[in-house]
Amino acid sequence: MSLEIIRASFTRPADTTIYAAGDLLANSVTPGSVVPIAFTSSNVPCRIQRVTMLSSNDAVANKNFTLYLFTAQPTVTNGDNGAFALATQFSALQAVFGSTAAVNTGAGAVNVFYPLDGAATPQNGWIPQLMPGTFWGLLKVNAAYTPTSGETFTLLVEAWASAGDS
């Protein structure tokens, strides 16, 4: 098996509007301008075991998220800080990851995401689906969260491939 760390970053809008539980965390307040997080792996197909997210804001109160992974680029109905809702690509949803509580690193904060099963229980292991070379993610806020203006988020995806998968 080979491990590849896929890195993708985005910056949220330059405001400090508090998120409500169920809001979309994205790069634009305008729905048509939201760009889902794109991940590209050389391990094709790949299995995702864990995702780590680093943020530039070291606050940790209510910094809890759900990460949705798609095999086709999704389109959202609302922009950043609006209700999480998909306009297209429901059928492309392949995996759902829940985050641990954030930890302050002194230079930001870190969350770790693990796959969720059908009952939304975190699983320490593989997601059952194989992901293609390029896949996309969207983040949903799970609790009222106060961001910093222009906060940056970097996601590190552990993408594994075994000799039998590639």
Asked if 79 contacts 42 with a C-beta cutoff of 8 angstroms, the reply is no
Q: 154 forms bridges with which residues in the sheet?
A: 9, 54
- Which pLDDT band, with edges at 50, 70 and 90, does 125 fall under? low
- Taking residues 95-103, report their average pLDDT: 86
What are the tens digits of pLDDT across the range 52-68? 999 999 989 999 999 99
Q: Which pLDDT score is estimated for 25?
A: 98
Q: Which two tokens stand for residue 48?
A: 């995702």
Question: 80 pLDDT exceeds 50?
Answer: yes
pLDDT of residue 166: 43
In percent, the amount of the chain with pLDDT more than 90 equals 62
Segment among 75-79, 112-116, 162-166 with least mean pLDDT? 162-166
Model pTM? 0.91
The pLDDT of residue 118 is above 70: no
Q: What is the mean pLDDT of the chain?
A: 88
- At 48 the pLDDT is 85
Higher pLDDT, 31 or 116: 31
Candidates 1, 35, 8; CA nearest to 154 is: 8
Percent of the chain with pLDDT over 70: 87
- When pLDDT is averaged across residues 6-31 and rounded to a whole number, the result is 97
Q: Which two tokens stand for residue 138?
A: 């969207």
Could you give phi then psi for residue 90, rounded to 5 degrees?
A: -60, -40
CA–CA distances in Å: residue 64 to residues 1, 14, 20, 48: 31, 20, 11, 20
